[in-house]
Chains A and B, each alone.
Chain A
């Protein structure tokens, strides 16, 4: 069944349809006319299918299984956070979504089309930055976008200029790409992902190299993309960034999905208790807290002497009693609002999102 797929009404509060997209201008972004152009270009396909559907996706490299039986989907108007430690299979998954890497088994569908059988659907409906933006160093920013616009076909020079305006690169658009800062390269990469108004936008570390103002702009911009009807797959090491802008998250580890769900539900799912002790008492305190029933994970706190314990709030009393019984008097044992970072660290057993899975970070002293 093939129909022209209209951009779906996004499933979130305060949204506008793509037709009304011009009323919403992300803070810090450029000309509103560029925003109007952000509504995804309709793609032939199954109108009931999600923009992206990944089914039982597996990829093996020799004896190593990089991605194992991964299944998830992203619908129009949704931002899906895609999390996992380095080496967990995120880039391999994204490469399979884009048809750059062949799955060993399973499949990827864009608008109901298998990307291996219909590679042109990727060009029409997916825009991505994988790891770092890559462009031709001898070309200007504008000519780089024009090159990819020509490769895609049907993308006008006016559209290129709109996007340069949107990412605030118009003033430097004539300069050679090799003269750009990392932040400018990142902005150009974001413009590239939007060149053909793709239904699926994949952003891998989109704020990498941006100053705080630039990071804020991108954070504001991602939900705006979703409001305009795009499906966004966001991979980032900055978990608070993912927490703020994502509707749902998928967390993978060693190529396997270990959790997926709505951010709100995941954050609510477990309690967190912050324990403050003297810095030289952290190690014995951790050993004692491990013995307390109901404790599921222990991580270092942000402050010196801080310990973050994953447990229901009532367990705090038991922790306090255990520590005091061994002569360690905590200055604070208090329930704390859970964060996606805590959830992630608990699920990945202490692997920081930017850490190689093969290694173990020094800070890790939790269970498992």
Chain B
């Protein structure tokens, strides 16, 4: 398994898309602070630029964009192997198919974490720089680091589950495009669909609480100051974790059992 993970990391490090997505993410977060600095009337008093407020501002924006980027990464991770036809060469050189998919999942988890760490780092640096330019306080209190770590943890679960969902769709469809489209569409449309259904009858209001969208949205909001009313974080973590385990089980089952005939 270590050999396969080593190979997966090597491919990811050498792949331009890996770095391009991180650069885009960093630029968007940095641009947010630049825009706020120039847009607000008095940068010296505006809370949006404060390093202590990044989980409500630059980090929240970056983490939501990161959720799309990790969906793209997940779909490419498996879909490209089918698209380029390398899946057969890789699978026949893997110690087992389980080891192959585990190595890809570990890489996916690592990249998901990396996007959130980069987002937090760029948000912190940007906030410090623009706060300094505006003449604000530039120190970061100790408890702010706890907020940062919690925010990374919650978004890790929220973004990770959609990344795994994209991976499952890619394995089922053997298509990068289907994985990206399916992952992004479900991450956005599910919430909208439940909103419509919940407006029809309260039954759907209850049912939606057991699906991904409601809980992921709740977890993401809980990382900021805009918490969803009556949202139980512990219950949300459990439900998202159950979905995550179910999606992982599907990806293992399908990839281990299915013939590798294409590519």
Chain B positions within 8 Å of A102 at CB level: 257, 259
Residue of A nearest to B9 (CB): A150
CB of A365 within 8 Å of the partner chain: no
Residue of B nearest to A120 (CB): B95
CB of B86 within 8 Å of the partner chain: yes
B261 touches A100 (CB 8 A): yes
Chain A positions within 8 Å of B263 at CB level: 134
Residue of B nearest to A131 (CB): B85
Chain B positions within 8 Å of A100 at CB level: 88, 91-92, 259-261
B86 touches A134 (CB 8 A): yes
Q: Of B85, B88, B94, B96, which contacts A151 at CB under 8 A?
A: B94
Chain B positions within 8 Å of A126 at CB level: 92
CB distance from A118 to the nearest CB of B (A): 10
Which stretch from B10-18, B23-31, B197-205 is at the chain A interface? B10-18
B6 touches A123 (CB 8 A): no
CB of B89 within 8 Å of the partner chain: yes
Q: Which of A265-287 contact B (CB under 8 A)?
A: none
Chain B positions within 8 Å of A152 at CB level: 3, 93
A139 touches B14 (CB 8 A): yes
Of the candidates A98, A136, A146, A192, the one having the most CB atoms from chain B within 10 angstroms of its own CB is A136
Chain A positions within 8 Å of B80 at CB level: 136
Q: Which of B200-259 contact A (CB under 8 A)?
A: 257, 259
Chain B positions within 8 Å of A134 at CB level: 84-86, 88-89, 263
CB distance from A234 to the nearest CB of B (A): 18
CB of A130 within 8 Å of the partner chain: yes
Measured as residues with beta carbon below 8 angstroms from the partner, the interface class of chain B is: 20 to 34
The answer for the CA separation of A196 and B93 in the assembled complex, in Å, is 10
Q: Which of B51-71 contact A (CB under 8 A)?
A: none
A98 touches B92 (CB 8 A): yes
Chain A positions within 8 Å of B88 at CB level: 95, 98, 100, 130, 134
Residue of B nearest to A144 (CB): B86
CB of A135 within 8 Å of the partner chain: yes
Chain B positions within 8 Å of A139 at CB level: 11, 14
Q: Of B6, B10, B14, B90, which contacts A138 at CB under 8 A?
A: B14
The answer for the CA separation of A135 and B89 in the assembled complex, in Å, is 8
Chain B positions within 8 Å of A147 at CB level: 7, 10-11
B15 touches A138 (CB 8 A): yes
Residue of A nearest to B89 (CB): A134
CB of A99 within 8 Å of the partner chain: yes
- Given A119-B96, A120-B96, A139-B11, verify A148-B89 contact (CB < 8 Å): yes
CB of B109 within 8 Å of the partner chain: no
Q: Which of B73-106 contact A (CB under 8 A)?
A: 80, 84-86, 88-97
CB of B128 within 8 Å of the partner chain: no
Chain A positions within 8 Å of B10 at CB level: 143, 146-147, 150
CB of A153 within 8 Å of the partner chain: yes
A123 touches B95 (CB 8 A): yes
CB distance from B193 to the nearest CB of A (A): 35
Q: Which of A77-136 contact B (CB under 8 A)?
A: 95, 98-102, 119-120, 122-123, 126, 128, 130, 132, 134-136
Chain A positions within 8 Å of B11 at CB level: 136, 139, 147
The answer for the CA separation of A192 and B90 in the assembled complex, in Å, is 11
Q: Of A95, A132, A196, which contacts B260 at CB under 8 A?
A: A95
B84 touches A136 (CB 8 A): yes
CB of A354 within 8 Å of the partner chain: no
Chain A positions within 8 Å of B95 at CB level: 119-120, 123
The answer for the CA separation of A257 and B10 in the assembled complex, in Å, is 43
CB distance from B65 to the nearest CB of A (A): 24
Chain B positions within 8 Å of A192 at CB level: 89
CB of A137 within 8 Å of the partner chain: yes
B7 touches A148 (CB 8 A): yes
Known A100-B88, A120-B95, A139-B14; further 4 A-B contacts with Cβ < 8 A: A98-B88, A100-B91, A102-B259, A130-B88
12 A–B pairs (Cβ distance < 8 Å), ordered by A: A95-B261, A100-B88, A100-B259, A102-B259, A134-B88, A135-B89, A136-B80, A138-B14, A148-B89, A148-B93, A151-B3, A153-B6
Give the interface of A toward B (CB within 8 A).
95, 98-102, 119-120, 122-123, 126, 128, 130, 132, 134-139, 143, 146-148, 150-153, 192, 196
